[in-house]
Each structure stands twice: as structure tokens, then as C-alpha cells.
Amino acid sequence: MATTVAFKSDLSGGEVYRPSADEDFMNERQQRYFRAKLLAWKESILLEAQGTLSQLQNDSLLQPDLTDRASSETDWSIELRTRDRQRKLISKIDAALRRIEEGEYGYCEVTGEPISLARLEARPIATMTVEAQERHERNEKVSREE
């Protein structure tokens, strides 16, 4: 899940900034906030991946007991699948960072409407509003059933 990021306001001593609906949508401050959130999330994933790589290099899958070996192989298989999902997640994070740079971040790719701050807070890689995402998923389900 996404890493929580709070950073101190540019203006004062100790004030923690959170995006608010009371300010202009995707103003520079909100963009900085979400950029920091995405970068922290990416860094966290990369650190986990490095830990997995180190562990894989240090641990031997060659266990004398067949049951222990099977258990280790299953554990590593699950771990490697998780890392593969996270690799795909990093590409989505990078795409979100590009959208910030291009001024497109926070706007639905289908409708062009702003994505709610609550949704972006929960899923900073979101590319659609909740309504557009639900429509997309319904259409996907219908096409699979046909």
C-alpha cells in the first residue's frame, strides 16, 4: 500500500501539510506533496526488493530435507511473485510522476475531471475518478462474459 507522507509547510515552524479541497486543485504545493508521496513509496519498494535480493543471495535453496526444500521453494516463489507485482507498480509510480511533470496528474484520463484528493491520497497512482473506474470495470466484466 502507499506510504504516508507528510511534510512541513514552506511557511511555518512545524505545520504538517495535507492537501485540502479548500485550495486550488493540483496547485504547486499539492503537486510537491504527491511527488514526495510517490517517491517515498517507490523508495520503500526498491529497499524491499534489495532486501529480497540480498536474502536470496545469502540463503541456499539446497536443503537436505525434501519437505524443507519444498517449503523454501514455495516461500521464494511467493516472494518473487510479490516482487514482480511491485516491479509493475514502480512503472505505474513512474507514470504518475511523469503526469505530475506534464501537469496531467490528478485528472481522470477518461473524463478529464479532477480525481478526488481522498482517492489520490489512498491510491496516488489512480488515473480515473471512482465513477470512471467503476464504469470501466463494469464494461470489462460485460466483455468477459460475452
Q: What is the pLDDT of residues 132-146, one digit of tens each?
A: 999 999 998 887 777
The pLDDT of residue 9 is 42
**pLDDT tens digits, residue range 46-105?**
998 887 777 766 665 566 777 877 777 787 788 788 888 999 999 999 999 999 999 999
Which cell is 20 given? 485540502
**Separation of alpha carbons 77 and 70, rounded Å:** 10
Structural domains of the chain in order of their starting residue, each with its CATH number: 7-107 (1.20.120.910)
Q: What average pLDDT does range 122-127 have in this prediction?
A: 98
Q: What average pLDDT does range 1-9 have in this prediction?
A: 48
